Chain A
Amino acid sequence: MQSIAQLLQLIPKYDTLPEIWRLLIPILVSCLLFFALMALAVLFLVWLERKISAHIQDRLGPMYVGGWHGWAQTLADALKLLLKEDIVPDATDKLLFKMAPFIVFLGAFAAYVVIPFGVSSIVTDLNIGILYVVALGSLSVVGIIMAGWASNNKYSLYGGMRAAAQIISYEIPAAVAIMTVIIPVGSLSMVDIVNAQSGGIQNWFIFRNPFTFLAFFIYFIASLAEVNRTPFDIPEAESELVAGFHTEYSGMRFAFFFLAEYANMLLVTCVATTLFLGGWTSVLPGGSQLIPGPILFFLKAFAIIFVQMWLRWSVPRLRVDQLMYLSWKVLLPISFALVLGVGWLAVR
């Protein structure tokens, strides 16, 4: 945000504005900037998901809209969703029903504040950065359960309850896996975590020692469950629950759920990139930055997203009991063991 504030200094007579405006305008500008970037990234991700799933199933996916490989398909779909009638079913809890998509979206959007895309491309470097991300991850549960409850539909309620149970269970292994990174760094700030990994690929936490290597995979699996992706998409399991918590949503409100889902997906990959793949830092051992930091950051993040999409078409959906077994009996004990191992390395 400092760089945005500096850019705004270039506007003539900016200094003569009242103090409150000089505080608010950078916030608004960075909000708009991040919203635009996120919407673009989500449109691209939806297109990418459709293409990847199509090619894994030996299909072609969207090919017509926009010319080159249907690049404008998601843009057209988004426009269609925004233009559709805003349906609020009769027996719903109107206020909660209308609020829910925005709360889910807020949880995804607000966490981008602390994601360091580059050396200076970060809105604000909170000293509790990663804790803030973990905390905001729980906000989307509130929105999802709100949507499930307010819809007054059994499938929605089932979906909402399942989402709550799942996200809360998987936050624990994810948070414990994050601890394996925090212990050697000694700071919760995202910038500090990235700086601790600078100097090439061997300094990234994924390759630094076997404990953090395993912790990366535990975080990856747990983050899949947190963003409700296959194989952990039981909150919106089409074959059982119609569409889960967003069964009753349509048009723009559904678009917001969709946006939040993909924004969350991008968020967890950004966090994984920051924590384990060295964020914006270079791949080369010397540490010389050939590719600009933000581009490198997104390349790493999209590589993880590709694996997420790849997994989606490889693994079938888990049963509820299998889901709980995996979280509480496999991931949690292993992640605790990893924390102990990292602690032993730190004090050795």
Chain B
Amino acid sequence: MLSYFKDIGLGIITVLNSMWVACRHFFTRSVTLQYPTEKWTMPERARAKLFNKIEDCIGCSQCARVCPTRCITIKTEKRGKDEPEILASDGTPIKLRTYIYDIDMALCCYCGLCTFSCPTHCLQMTPAYEYSVYAIKDHIYQFAKEKPLSVRAPAEPTTASF
């Protein structure tokens, strides 16, 4: 008989206790982020979308070789002897003309190996993370600006080949 009343008392205390917990949470600030209007402040060196500063790129293709998903496509040609000598910002002479430098961000696995291998540090990951598109082809970003002299560049953007 005593345990019957004990159980009732314990039940009441438990319910009141859990109500107190719920009440405390009712008055705590919500953790929801109203995403399109409020955004995360990304860390300064966050590793998201790839960016290549093509002026510093020497066309060495190390990034394309190290990429585990082969999302980088590079095509280069030798610059002519008569052309003026150009240097990357760290002083490395640029001897190749990079006329195709395509990164397929749909394939990228964000490992960042390409940025470590880049000798002139022109390929970097930026904190930009909002670049969703409607067509998967729009995920191919073309960084090359120069036109080739020897070969005709294909009109269509190249996809990474497996």
Query: Of A51-59, A93-101, A137-145, A297-305, which stretch is located at the interface?
Result: A51-59
Cβ < 8 Å to A, chain B residues 27-77 = 28-32, 34
Q: Which one, B19, B31, B34, contacts A314 given CB within 8 A?
A: B19
Cβ < 8 Å to B, chain A residues 291-334 = 310-311, 313-315, 329-330
Closest to B22 in A: A314
B19–A58 CB distance below 8 A: no
B22–A313 CB distance below 8 A: yes
| Chain A nearest Cβ from B84, distance in angstroms | 57
Bound: A55/B21 CA distance, A: 13
B26–A55 CB distance below 8 A: yes
Bound: A58/B26 CA distance, A: 7
- Residue of A56, A59, A314 ringed by the most chain B CB atoms within 10 A: A314
List of A residues within 8 angstroms of B21 by Cβ: 314
Q: A63 at the A/B interface (Cβ < 8 Å)? A: yes
Closest to B12 in A: A217
Q: A60 at the A/B interface (Cβ < 8 Å)? A: yes
Mask: chain A, 41-63; 1 = CB below 8 Å from B; 0 = not: 00000000000101111111001
| Chain A nearest Cβ from B137, distance in angstroms | 32
Q: Which one, A52, A54, A314, A330, contacts B30 given CB within 8 A?
A: A54
A58–B28 CB distance below 8 A: yes
A314 and B32 contact, Cβ closer than 8 Å, known pairs A55-B26, A56-B26, A57-B25: no
Q: Which one, B19, B22, B30, contacts A59 given CB within 8 A?
A: B30
List of B residues within 8 angstroms of A311 by Cβ: 15, 19
Q: Which one, B15, B18, B32, contacts A60 given CB within 8 A?
A: B32
| Chain B nearest Cβ from A294, distance in angstroms | 28
| Chain B nearest Cβ from A256, distance in angstroms | 30
Q: B8 at the A/B interface (Cβ < 8 Å)? A: yes
List of A residues within 8 angstroms of B29 by Cβ: 58
Bound: A59/B30 CA distance, A: 5
Bound: A60/B35 CA distance, A: 12
B28–A314 CB distance below 8 A: no
Closest to B14 in A: A315
Bound: A57/B23 CA distance, A: 10
Bound: A314/B15 CA distance, A: 7
A58–B18 CB distance below 8 A: no
B25–A58 CB distance below 8 A: yes
Bound: A313/B22 CA distance, A: 7
| Chain B nearest Cβ from A332, distance in angstroms | 13
List of A residues within 8 angstroms of B34 by Cβ: 60, 63
Q: Which one, A56, A59, A310, contacts B31 given CB within 8 A?
A: A59
List of A residues within 8 angstroms of B28 by Cβ: 58
List of A residues within 8 angstroms of B31 by Cβ: 58-59
Q: Which one, A60, A63, A310, A329, contacts B22 given CB within 8 A?
A: A310
B25–A330 CB distance below 8 A: no
Cβ < 8 Å to B, chain A residues 13-55 = 52, 54-55
Bound: A52/B26 CA distance, A: 8
List of A residues within 8 angstroms of B25 by Cβ: 55-58
List of B residues within 8 angstroms of A310 by Cβ: 19, 22-23, 26
B interface residues with partner A (beta carbon < 8 Å) = 4, 8, 15, 18-19, 21-23, 25-26, 28-32, 34
Q: List 5 A-B contacts (CB under 8 A).
A: A55-B26, A55-B30, A56-B26, A59-B30, A310-B19
A interface residues with partner B (beta carbon < 8 Å) = 52, 54-60, 63, 310-311, 313-315, 329-330
> Would you list the 3 A-B pairs with minimal beta carbon distance, nearest first?
A314-B18, A314-B22, A60-B32
